[in-house]
Structure 1
């Protein structure tokens, strides 16, 4: 083999390797660009009609957080296809919940100084009534019948992690529009005796029916699960270290966030379930910090928000401590199941 032939072979090999490398780089860049574009575009969101009326199929309603013209709008997907295309309602909410054809939307009113309001919606998401809200919205719930709605706002502060915050929780009867605008005026029973203190905070209502509900009481540096009675205007402490309770569909268990020893003061909570008959606590398989009022998707699984690329994603985990947590829906918060 002559020297010229060897040089030609070497040159061909260099060109071949170069073209392979260039192709690999271009392919990787293309795949990366596709991923970036997919992330930038997010889920498909289309405008349409969103109703709170019963339909043939079960649906999941959320506040849509995907970037675009429908960000913050209440949107819906089939419950069995949470990653599918979303139908956006045009109604924007910071917090939302719905049941039995009644919706509760906590909104910001933008002006020289932002204010907030709680809007009760009918089954077509039209406003029935609204009330001024005393601060930044944080929790919203509708009773199973749709006859009662409740919301919590931060009057001062914007996080439950520390102690320098104050909340205000209200309950409204949608049949009469009668309002209890501060549950701290209810009579508190703790350790079997009436209890009064200037430092009480109440937040995170979850309804059993049109009379009974559960919530969090904070006082003297501790938190308690309390059972509320709308008619008697009482709050009875049941269990310590419970925040943002959520009652199971059968009324026997409470999902909640619990402060755990050794956790960071800025991320202190883990997701637990409390059996109301035995007061036995069960830790779920979700080991990350939970700062949300979880929702029961059904009798066996929970849905909750965790930080995501566009604000929050929804995750789900079994309620009995088994299994693993998995992402249910990207770019969404404030879920409600209908049907």
Structure 2
């Protein structure tokens, strides 16, 4: 009797696993090369991204192998963690997850190398951008928030910063003292988005918008101040060597062209990608920029040469783990 009961329980477990995987596979447009298991954010040789292949708009964090030349493999591992945006730095990850309920909301999940959630930060609005510093200490997010009375478009951005070493959290950095053209600036319509961190975990860059104009700002976390560097730069991404910034530059009312700014010379270089890109780019290496285009991730040389190439199909929000 006990043996029969054990066999029955084992059969039920196998059936449950099969049904679970079938449901997971059926929720995907193409599951032929996907394995579902926990990711290891401490392991190198991976491109980690948000998988856009699942039906119904459900997105999960996945990874695929990437070699030193920047070539990815066909197989991918799906963690099952639902995220709209994801970023990694030194095995610390941040996942922006839409929160259900009568009002739109976002949870910023801080995850460890095994993708275990270590902290949950409740935010208003909907997910937009996410970044982690190279050391894993500093985390940032941007969400779209509706209902700000001063904003004629009906929405604004809230950008926050978390210091994981001290747990000090700023839900919205818009109160940081701002200097524009050498003068202290104050306005109710100031919005920040798209933070990127320098290697010292103190200096950071971001976009600020006010009075219909956008600027690249450089921030000092320790002294809590920021000043504008250049106009018409959005969604900055600092190169691994800290010398250049990839960004999107407005080319029309609703279009943007990817560029790279040399911080020493302030020279802007338009990249070979001619499609309009509404994304915060990332760096594949010191010579290559990667970004979301449609539902895929592309890469192109940072010096403006060459042509864009498909890096990962049905993917978004990429981070390379070397």
Give me the TM-score of the superposition, normalised by structure 2: 0.85
Q: In the alignment, what sits opposite 1:229?
A: 220
2:271 to 276, 284, 291: 284
3-state SS in 2 of match to 1:183: coil
What are the superposed Cα offsets for residues 189-232 of structure 1, whole Å, 9 maximum, x if unpaired? Answer: 11112111111110000000311100001111111100011111
CA distance in 2, matches of 1:120, 1:222: 33
Give me the TM-score of the superposition, normalised by structure 1: 0.81
Q: In the alignment, what sits opposite 2:306?
A: 323
Asked whether the 8 Å contact 2:142–2:194 carries over to 1, the reply is yes
Counterpart mapping for 1:195-210 below 5 A: 195-208=185-198, 209-210=200-201
Gaps of 5+ in 1: 1-38
Asked whether the 8 Å contact 2:257–2:277 carries over to 1, the reply is yes
Matched, 1:47 2:30: no
What are the superposed Cα offsets for residues 48-71 of structure 1, whole Å, 9 maximum, x if unpaired? Answer: 230111x3x421001111136995
Q: In the alignment, what sits opposite 1:294?
A: 281
What are the superposed Cα offsets for residues 144-188 of structure 1, whole Å, 9 maximum, x if unpaired? Answer: 11111000000128xxxx955300000001122111121111000
Q: What's the offset of the Cα at 1:113?
A: 4.3
Matched, 1:246 2:214: no
Asked whether the 8 Å contact 1:64–1:72 carries over to 2, the reply is yes
CA distance in 1, matches of 2:125, 2:154: 15
Asked whether the 8 Å contact 2:123–2:171 carries over to 1, the reply is no
Shift of the 114–134 alpha-carbon distance from structure 1 to 2, 3 Å rule, reads closer
Q: In the alignment, what sits opposite 2:316?
A: 333
CA distance in 2, matches of 1:321, 1:290: 15
CA distance in 2, matches of 1:69, 1:86: 20
Counterpart mapping for 1:1-339 below 5 A: 40-41=29-30, 44-53=33-42, 55=43, 57-67=44-54, 72-80=59-67, 81-156=71-146, 163-208=153-198, 209-260=200-251, 263=252, 265-266=253-254, 268-307=255-294, 312-339=295-322
RMSD over aligned Cα atoms = 2.0
CA distance in 2, matches of 1:278, 1:163: 35
Asked whether the 8 Å contact 2:296–2:310 carries over to 1, the reply is yes
3-state SS in 2 of match to 1:184: coil
What are the superposed Cα offsets for residues 20-71 of structure 1, whole Å, 9 maximum, x if unpaired? Answer: xxxxxxxxxxxxxxxxxxx952662111230111x3x421001111136995
CA distance in 2, matches of 1:191, 1:49: 48
| Higher Cα Rg, which structure | 1
Asked whether the 8 Å contact 1:286–1:317 carries over to 2, the reply is yes
State the aligned residue count. Answer: 287
Q: In the alignment, what sits opposite 1:8?
A: none
Q: What's the offset of the Cα at 1:90?
A: 1.8
Gaps of 5+ in 2: 1-27
3-state SS in 2 of match to 1:327: strand
